[in-house]
Amino acid sequence: MWEQIRINKRNSMILLTAMAGLLLGLGGLLGYAFVGPQGVGVGILIAGGVWLLLTLISFSSGDQILLASSGAVEVTPEVHPMLFNIVEEMKIAAQLPAMPKVYIIPDPSPNAFATGRNPSKSAVAVTEGLLAKLNRDELQGVIAHEVSHIVHRDILFVTLAGIMLGTIVLLADVFLRGTMYGSHRRYSSRDNNNAQGLMIIIALVAAILAPLMAQILYFALSRKREFLADAGAVRLTRYPEGLASALEKISGSKIPMETANKVTAPMYISSPFRGAKANLFSTHPSAQQRIHVLRAMMHGANYQDYDQAYRSVTGKSGVIPAAALKESEAIPTRQADTRSEPQPQPAAKAQQRILFGDFIRKQQGFAFIDCPCGVKLKLPPNLPTSKVQCPRCKTVHTVTQS
Amino acid sequence: MAGLGAMMMMFLLLGGLVLVAAVVVIGIYNGLVGGRNQVDNAWSQIDVQLKRRHDLIPNLVETAKGYMQHERQTFESITQARSQAMGAKNVTEASKAEGALTDALSKFMLVVENYPDLKANQNFLSLQETLTSTENKIAFARQAYNDAVLNYNNKTQMFPSNIVAGMFNFTKRDFFEIESPAEREVPKVKF
């Protein structure tokens, strides 16, 4: 997949340059609109500073920002051993230099994404809904898809694009408000009133167009890579059906993701929106098509087999870069496991949810008291009293937290 | 005078050729070393997982024993396969012994189906997940190892790198195929 990796690195550079142009232009316009011709230089200078700061921030902690904005919580292996096992399995299969960090998003809608700078510094995040709905093979397919994004270096590009797009949306928003407040000043200064008025209209149009353009670029790039990550996932797991049935369950879910927004949407394995919002800007190829391609892979699990399946399902030319197609070694697919898989019982899944809930409470500073009658008291931080009564057996406990 | 000039040219040309050849040889040599290190690294990954599986078995047997008094033979075959696998000295031997162990474990898992009490045991469930994951990790590590071996072996056998490989004694490596008698018995459906 070297070709794809190079394309992604190049795209990251193009994105950074385009963003610089866009920001500098916007800065110049803003300067002109607010101050006049002498403000153009200052505007460009400030915009350049903003761009530099943004680039630095997105490289150093863009992944953290995106994870935080989607409400993801980093978890330890005890919280969900199976999820950790699966991530480690895929790390071994893909020969990643380091274990990705594992995050859980407290959201009932099933979805997942990956982020990070490079394969040695990466993270995968899955929702609670995903963990509740999928079985082991399906979860493995989803994680393999995310690990493929890491291997293909999609993560840096998507992270950069996410931060940049987020900023443009924010800047344009600020600017639109700014022109509303600024209108007073415009009427008080009488000289070159017309020119400034025209400039404000142009700036306004630019402010509306810029986020739209950025979004179109972002969406256009994120479709092909989903197919590529699917192909990579099959190559890792050798089991197309796992991912196919996972996608079926994810796309069949009617629950929209509450924590996703238009900036983070393209990161997810499947579009997080439902209903009218989903059709406006489709960030993902149709799940139905992806499932058909995966199910059409009958002969083997290498890139050629995926490409062949893709061509026969869509009738278009292939999606896999030529360099990856040269791979000659035949890879057979794995048969469905005949031995009994540990399918978690409903009780075990409920237990899992409680574990995760407690994990989050612990991070928020909750105190836990195990009452001898079997009740576990969960106390929020900064309780006004130091005595708590157990609701079942009425024993009074003393709270020892600070 | 003309002869001297031609001699100089000859020397320069020869020196240049030697230099180019040296650079090419160094490049191929480094590629071979890189390939060999990748094979070793991939092998150590398998090794870690195999060891983990060996450590897991006594635990598993201990937990299951209380529930399955009538399955002494199953336990014995697992324990025996384990000690044989732990004594394996090279890749070929390990392939065979680990294959037998995989078989014994999957037979055990089939037997477990008859013991609902055991399947409900929390401790056993978590052991079962660990075992499944370890089996998967072995399979994926093997996948990665065999890819690395194929890549390295190709280098040692294909022209021109095979010449450099012969010069510096890079020998071909064995694949890690888990030899499972049960897997061979599975009837293949042909259409």
Q: How confident is the model at residue A328 (pLDDT cuts 50, 70, 90)?
A: low
Rounded CA-CA distance A51/A22 in Å is 10
Chain A residue with minimum CA distance to B113: A340
Q: What is the pLDDT of residues B74-93, one digit of tens each?
A: 888 888 888 888 888 777 78
Give residues 75 to 114 of A whose Cβ lies within 8 Å of B: 81-82, 85-86, 88-90, 92-93, 95
**The tokens 């394309």 sit on which residue?**
A7
The stretches of B66-179 forming alpha helices (DSSP H) are 72-86, 91-112, 116-120, 122-157, 161-167
* pLDDT given for residue A247 in this prediction: 92
Could you tell me if A73 and A359 are in contact, meaning their C-beta atoms sit under 8 angstroms apart?
Answer: yes
Which among A146, A248, A329, A341 is annotated as catalytic?
A146
Give residues 170 to 229 of A whose Cβ lies within 8 Å of B: none
The stretches of A98-135 forming alpha helices (DSSP H) are 128-133
Q: What is the dihedral of CA B84, B87, B91, B95, to 10 degrees?
A: 10
Cα–Cα distances in Å, from B160 out to A182, A366, B27, B167, B180?
73, 66, 12, 12, 37
Q: What is the pLDDT of residues B34-64, one digit of tens each?
A: 889 888 888 888 888 888 888 888 888 888 8
Neighboring chain A residues of B113 at a CB cutoff of 8 Å = 340
Determine contact: B153 vs chain A, CB below 8 A.
Answer: no
Q: How confident is the model at residue B188 (pLDDT cuts 50, 70, 90)?
A: very low
- Report which of A319, A294, A330 is spatially closest to residue A144, judged by C-alpha positions: A294
In the 8-state DSSP scheme, what is residue A370? E
Could you tell me if B178 and B99 are in contact, meaning their C-beta atoms sit under 8 angstroms apart?
Answer: yes
Rounded CA-CA distance A249/A269 in Å is 12
Name residue A84's amino acid.
Answer: F
Assign 3-class secondary structure to A31-86: HHHHCCCCHHHHHHHHHHHHHHHHHHHHHHHHHHHHHHHCCCEECCCCCCHHHHHH
Q: What is the pLDDT of residues A121-179, one digit of tens each?
A: 999 999 999 998 898 899 999 999 999 999 988 888 888 877 777 777 776 666 666 66
Could you tell me if A151 and A96 are in contact, meaning their C-beta atoms sit under 8 angstroms apart?
Answer: yes
Q: Is B180 helix (H, G, I), strand (E, B) or coil?
A: coil
Rounded CA-CA distance A322/A324 in Å is 5
Which one has a higher pLDDT value, A182 or B94? B94
Rounded CA-CA distance A385/B4 in Å is 104
Instruction: List the strands of the sheet with A73-74, edge to edge.
Output: A73-74, A101-105, A121-127, A112-118
Q: Is B145 helix (H, G, I), strand (E, B) or coil?
A: helix
**Highest-confidence range of A64-68, A369-373, B156-160, by mean pLDDT?**
A64-68
* pLDDT given for residue B187 in this prediction: 45
Rounded CA-CA distance A27/A12 in Å is 22
- Residue in A86, A340, A348 closest to B109 by CB: A340
Could you tell me if B174 and B149 are in contact, meaning their C-beta atoms sit under 8 angstroms apart?
Answer: yes
Mark yes or no for CB contact A90/B140 under 8 Å.
Answer: yes
* pLDDT given for residue B190 in this prediction: 47
Q: What is the pLDDT of residues A265-296, one digit of tens each?
A: 777 877 777 755 555 455 566 788 889 888 88
Neighboring chain A residues of B141 at a CB cutoff of 8 Å = 92-93
* pLDDT given for residue A87 in this prediction: 94
Q: Is B5 helix (H, G, I), strand (E, B) or coil?
A: helix
Q: What is the pLDDT of residues B22-37, one digit of tens each?
A: 999 898 899 899 889 8
**The tokens 């020119």 sit on which residue?**
A195
* A258 in catalytic set: no
Q: Domain residues of chain A, as ranges?
A: 1-329, 346-398
Distance from CA of B71 to the nearest CA of A (A): 18
Question: Which residues, 6 or more positions from A292, have their beta carbon under 8 angstroms from its beta carbon?
Answer: A313
Could you tell me if B133 and B148 are in contact, meaning their C-beta atoms sit under 8 angstroms apart?
Answer: no
Could you tell me if A320 and A231 are in contact, meaning their C-beta atoms sit under 8 angstroms apart?
Answer: yes
Neighboring chain B residues of A86 at a CB cutoff of 8 Å = 133
Determine contact: A327 vs chain B, CB below 8 A.
Answer: no
- Residue in B113, B120, B144 closest to A95 by CB: B144
Neighboring chain A residues of B112 at a CB cutoff of 8 Å = 340
- Residue in A90, A342, A345 closest to B129 by CB: A342
Q: Computed from CA positions of residues B124, B127, B132, B138, in that sequence, does the dihedral angle turn out positive or negative?
A: negative
Determine contact: B109 vs chain A, CB below 8 A.
Answer: yes
The phi and psi torsions of A190 (rounded to 5 degrees) equal -85, -30
Mark yes or no for CB contact B140/A341 under 8 Å.
Answer: no
* pLDDT given for residue A398 in this prediction: 80
* pLDDT given for residue B119 in this prediction: 78
Rounded CA-CA distance A252/A380 in Å is 37
Cα–Cα distances in Å, from A331 out to B140, B158, B186?
13, 22, 19
Pairs of CB atoms within 8 A across A/B: 51
* pLDDT given for residue A340 in this prediction: 42
Other CB atoms within 10 A of residue A273 CB: 21
The phi and psi torsions of A95 (rounded to 5 degrees) equal 55, 45
Q: Is A397 helix (H, G, I), strand (E, B) or coil?
A: strand
Q: What is the pLDDT of residues A201-241, one digit of tens each?
A: 766 776 777 667 666 666 656 667 888 889 889 988 888 99
- Report which of B155, B153, B143, B145 is spatially closest to residue B173, judged by C-alpha positions: B153
- Which residues pair with residue A122 across a beta bridge? A116
Pairing type for strands A73-74 and A121-127 reads unpaired
* pLDDT given for residue A140 in this prediction: 94
Q: What is the pLDDT of residues A296-320, one digit of tens each?
A: 887 777 777 888 888 777 777 766 7
Q: What is the dihedral of CA B41, A88, B126, A102, to 10 degrees?
A: 150
Q: Report, as an integer, the average pLDDT of A363-391.
A: 80
Q: Report, as an integer, the average pLDDT of B134-141.
A: 88
* pLDDT given for residue A283 in this prediction: 58
Rounded CA-CA distance A23/A18 in Å is 9
ipTM: 0.73
Q: Domain residues of chain B, as ranges?
A: 43-135
- Report which of B87, B88, B85, B91 is spatially closest to residue B44, judged by C-alpha positions: B91
pLDDT mean across residues, chain A: 78
Rounded CA-CA distance B81/B75 in Å is 10
Rounded CA-CA distance A161/A138 in Å is 29
Other CB atoms within 10 A of residue A117 CB: 19
**The tokens 């959201």 sit on which residue?**
A107
Question: Which residues, 6 or more positions from A28, have their beta carbon under 8 angstroms from its beta carbon?
Answer: A40, A43, A44, A47
* pLDDT given for residue A324 in this prediction: 64
Determine contact: A348 vs chain B, CB below 8 A.
Answer: yes
Could you tell me if B142 and B46 are in contact, meaning their C-beta atoms sit under 8 angstroms apart?
Answer: yes
Above 50 in pLDDT, residue A332?
yes
Distance from CA of A307 to the nearest CA of B (A): 21
Name residue B37's amino acid.
Answer: N
Could you tell me if B63 and B112 are in contact, meaning their C-beta atoms sit under 8 angstroms apart?
Answer: no
Q: Is A401 helix (H, G, I), strand (E, B) or coil?
A: coil
Could you tell me if A250 and A291 are in contact, meaning their C-beta atoms sit under 8 angstroms apart?
Answer: no
* pLDDT given for residue A99 in this prediction: 93
* pLDDT given for residue A177 in this prediction: 67
* pLDDT given for residue B186 in this prediction: 44
CATH number of B43-135: 1.20.1440.20
Could you tell me if A306 and A297 are in contact, meaning their C-beta atoms sit under 8 angstroms apart?
Answer: yes
- Which residues pair with residue A118 across a beta bridge? A121
